[in-house]
Structure 1
Amino acid sequence: MSDLPTLPVTFRPGRTRAVLLTAGVAIFLVISGVAMLLEKLGPGERLSFVVTGGLIFWVLAQLARVRVVADDSGVTVVNIASRRRLDWAEIIQVNLRPGDPWVFLDLTDGTSLPALGIQPGIDKQQAITDARTLRALAEARTLRDPDASTGQDQS
C-alpha cells in the first residue's frame, strides 16, 4: 500500500496531550503561586502546596504520555501505567468502534489490548485516521504464512 507512512511512526492524541500538559503547568503555577502569596504559611506548608501542585502535574503528565509506536518489527503500546511490545503477527485486528474511548487491538492469544494512544476524545477525525493507518500497517505486515493465503498446505 503506497499511502502507508514511513516507519517508525508514533500515534498519540496531540490535542488531548496539549490540554493535559497545559493544565498541569497552569495548576502547578497557580498552586505554587498561592503558596508564596499566603503570608501566614510556614515553610513546610508552602512546600506541601508546591509538592501537591507537582503531584497533580505528574499525574496529568502520565495521562499525556500514552502513545502507540509502530516500527518495522512491531508495535509498542504505552498506556498510563504499562508498556507492551507486540510483534506485527500478534495483532489480529485494530478496532475503533463508535463509542469506544480508544483503539483496541485484538491479539492472537485471545485477549484485547487497549491502545490509549489513539483516542477520539478531543480530535475524533484524527483518531479515526490514525486507527485506519495502524490497521493498514498491521494488515500489510501480518503476512503470517504466504502459502496459507494461496491454500497450499505445508505439512
Structure 2
Amino acid sequence: MSAPAPVPALPVTFRPTVTRTVLLSVGTVMFVVISAIGLMLEQLSTGERLSFILTALLFSGVLALLSRPKVVADDTGVTVVNLTRTRRLEWAEILRVNLRPGDPWVFLDLSDGSSLPVLGIQPGVAKERAIRDARALRDLTESRSARDDDAR
C-alpha cells in the first residue's frame, strides 16, 4: 500500500487542462478557417464577409467560455470559477468534497446546506488526474478545517 500523497502547497489551481487545450485549439482553428472562407469568397459583400467573421468570433467565444472553469485554493479559501459565475468560499464553508462514480465533475457540500458544482475538476477526459485533484482538494479542505478548529 502506498503512502498518502502530501497536501499540495498553496496556492494551487485545478483545471481540466486537456479539455481546455482542445477547446481553445478548436476555437482558434474554427475562427481562422471560417474567417478565411468568408474573405476568400469573392461574390460576398463586405457585410456578408463581416458576418462570417462575427460568426467565427461567436463560436470561438463560446468555446473560450467552456474552457474557463477552474478552482483556485489559497490560504484563506477556495475560488470556484464555473462557466459564467465565480464564487469565493472560506475553508470553513466547505463540509465535503464529492466525486462519486458517474459524476460529471466534483461537488462541494457547503455549510449552508447547498451543493456547489466545481466544473474545474472533471473526470471526463483525464479521469485519474481528476481523482487526484479531487483528493488533493479534499485533503486541503480537511487540513484547513482542522487548522480552523484548532484556532478557535
Same fold (TM over 0.5): yes
Residue number among 35, 53, 74 corresponding to 1:32 in the alignment: 35
Is 1:146 aligned to 2:150, yes or no? yes
After superposition, residues 118-133 of structure 1 pair within 5 angstroms as 118-133=121-136
The amino acid across from 1:31 in the alignment is: I
TM-score (norm 1): 0.92
Unaligned 5+ runs, structure 1: 149-155
After superposition, residues 41-120 of structure 1 pair within 5 angstroms as 41-120=44-123
Deviation at 1:77, TM superposition (A): 0.1
Is 1:18 aligned to 2:21, yes or no? yes
TM-score (norm 2): 0.93
Corresponding residue of 2:8: 5
* CA deviations over 1:104-138 (Å, ceiling 9, x no partner): 00000000000000001111110000000000000
* CA deviations over 1:67-124 (Å, ceiling 9, x no partner): 0000000000000010000000000000000100000000000000000000011111
Deviation at 1:3, TM superposition (A): 1.1
Deviation at 1:147, TM superposition (A): 9.2
Between Structure 1 and Structure 2, how many residues are aligned? 148
The amino acid across from 2:112 in the alignment is: D
Mapped partners of 1:145, 1:99: distance in 2: 33
* CA deviations over 1:37-67 (Å, ceiling 9, x no partner): 1111011100010011001111110110110
Mapped partners of 1:63, 1:28: distance in 2: 16
Alignment partner of 2:102: what SS? coil
Deviation at 1:146, TM superposition (A): 3.5
Unaligned 5+ runs, structure 2: none
The amino acid across from 1:114 in the alignment is: P
